[in-house]
Structure 1
Amino acid sequence: MTADVHSLIGAYVLDAVDDIERAAFDRHLRECPACRLEVDELREASARLAEDAWSVPPPALRGSVMDAIAATRQVSPEPAAPKRQPPARLRLLSAAAAVVVAAGGAVYAVQELRVRAEHTRVESLETLLSAPDLTVHDEPVTGGGTVTVAVSRSRDAAVITLNAATAPGDGRVYQLWTIRAAKPVPEGTLTAGETTTRQIVDGIGDATDVGVSIEPSGGSTTPTMPLAAAVHL
């Protein structure tokens, strides 16, 4: 892939290329698994960052609480009377308003951390996929599907992408492994029913193979044979 074509990846994902550039990049994608993987990852990240369905209390809830507070008559104490507590309804509404505001702020903070983590993940993937020594390996998964491994020794990292056609079933899950010095090292376990994942493995070191096994829910310390997929690096 030439540097000029590679520089089009971001614009291509954002649909900011002209017809000639799009045709040239489409033609290149058919021949370059690494670029297809990068385009898929960037599209996924863009879609997540564009989502506006934040998990915060709906504006209508906060509005109704504040309106109710405004409509509640404030009762001032008589000059000579002992100090009185605010009406119970006012205290309840004030507490509810505080909960709404606090919950919204907390959820926003969590979502902000998730967005930053996603940015970091995408940057790590871009760094890996731009490595000059990047190699991409594909192998079939038993039962249908593929596992793709893009590895760079200079970046000392790899990305494992599993796209299985079906879930193992019967309370079993897929688990990813690297083989280092002839010993299996667990690299991630899917949850029940999951068939796809993309796992960045830092410190790939002298790993010689990547494997996908089918294990009991929660994973195992050693892979169950035979493997569902095996990729030699």
Structure 2
Amino acid sequence: MTDIHALAGAYVLDAVDDVERAAFARHLNGCESCALELAELREAVARLADPTWSVPPPALRTQVLAEIRRTPQERTGPVGRAGRDPARSWRRRLAVAAAAVLLAGGAGAVTWTAQEQRVRDARTEAGAARDEAGRIRAVLAAPDAVVRTGAAPAGGRVTVVASASRDEGVAVLDGLAAPAPGRAYQLWLIEGTTATSAGSLPAGAGGGTKLLSGVRGKGVFGVTEEPASGSAQPTMTPLVAFAIT
């Protein structure tokens, strides 16, 4: 049977079953030594906890608790008062402290890594947005910029500014009727019978601005309503279509 004094560390980490928990709780009422050790262990775990604590992955806690339960609780030195082994007691304290460090440190590492990734993603997105804004300004300021506008049958207007020298354009859609659920407005650059996708607005959006690439040599700009995931080719006659050269 497990030595009741050996359950202090597991009790702190909630690594005991219901029977062991009840037995140790009863034991605490009459064992001043275990009560003192329990208080010390709880204080150690509290101090080791990181201020930016977050819940660690469930698998990590399971592995740590399993390792603690597998650790032999053999008596290897002189027995102190109340039938307890001082050396074993310190080993238990060290094991609990190490487990607390692992739990807190592991969670902190996961949190730090996630935060760093979010920062990198935000910087990448910000850089891409600045680059796109600069390209849009360059198209609008280009000496050879051509402006064309078309009206949608159900209301709203589409304006395209195209620069052959930059091989780029800017499409501005405003006030179009919201597309059906799960669908979006897709933009096309058309040369003869070949249509090349120029991107889509967000699903359900009736307006927005898109930077167009590869406008040189494309005679027509068109807009169709397609699945939100986009289509390889138009699946309907364009709602709006007009020459951009």
Identify the TM-score tier after normalising by the shorter chain. Answer: 0.5 to 0.7
Displacement of 1:194 after TM fit?
A: 1.9
The structure with more helix, counted as a fraction of residues:
2
Task: Name which of 164, 167, 170 aligns with 1:156.
Answer: 167
SS of corresponding position for 2:118: helix
Letter in 2 for 1:147: V
Displacement of 1:86 after TM fit?
A: 4.2
Letter in 2 for 1:123: G
Aligned to 1:145: 156
Alignment of 1:35-74 (within 5 A): 65-66=50-51
Alignment of 1:1-150 (within 5 A): 65-66=50-51, 84-87=94-97, 88-150=99-161
Letter in 2 for 1:151: A
SS of corresponding position for 1:66: coil
- How many residues are treated as equivalent by the alignment? 162
Unpaired runs of at least 5, structure 2:
1-48, 54-85
Displacement of 1:98 after TM fit?
A: 2.1
Task: Name which of 211, 225, 228 aligns with 2:222.
Answer: 211
2:181–2:204 Cα contact (<8 Å) kept: no
Aligned to 1:50: none
Task: Name which of 184, 202, 208 aligns with 2:195.
Answer: 184
1:66–1:97 Cα contact (<8 Å) kept: no
1:191–1:218 Cα contact (<8 Å) kept: no
Greater Cα offset, 110-119 or 167-176: 167-176
Displacement of 1:129 after TM fit?
A: 1.4
Task: Name which of 228, 233, 236 aligns with 1:225.
Answer: 236
> 1:188-211: per-residue Cα shift (whole Å, max 9, x none)?
133431222322222212111100
Unpaired runs of at least 5, structure 1:
1-63, 69-76
| Partners of 1:219 and 1:98 in 2: CA distance | 39
Aligned to 1:194: 205
1:175–1:190 Cα contact (<8 Å) kept: yes
| Partners of 1:204 and 1:92 in 2: CA distance | 56
* Residues 93/171 of structure 1: CA separation in 2 closer, same or farther (3 Å cut): closer
SS of corresponding position for 2:95: coil
2:190–2:218 Cα contact (<8 Å) kept: yes
**RMSD of the alignment, in Å?**
2.8
| Partners of 1:209 and 1:137 in 2: CA distance | 10
Please say which structure displays the higher CA radius of gyration: 2
| Partners of 1:135 and 1:79 in 2: CA distance | 84
| Partners of 2:207 and 2:190 in 1: CA distance | 21
SS of corresponding position for 1:151: strand
> 1:74-133: per-residue Cα shift (whole Å, max 9, x none)?
xxx969966943433443222222222222111111111111111111111122111111
Displacement of 1:147 after TM fit?
A: 0.8
1:215–1:224 Cα contact (<8 Å) kept: yes
Letter in 1 for 2:158: V
| Partners of 1:211 and 1:226 in 2: CA distance | 9
| Partners of 2:103 and 2:89 in 1: CA distance | 27
> 1:131-162: per-residue Cα shift (whole Å, max 9, x none)?
11111111112211111100111212111122
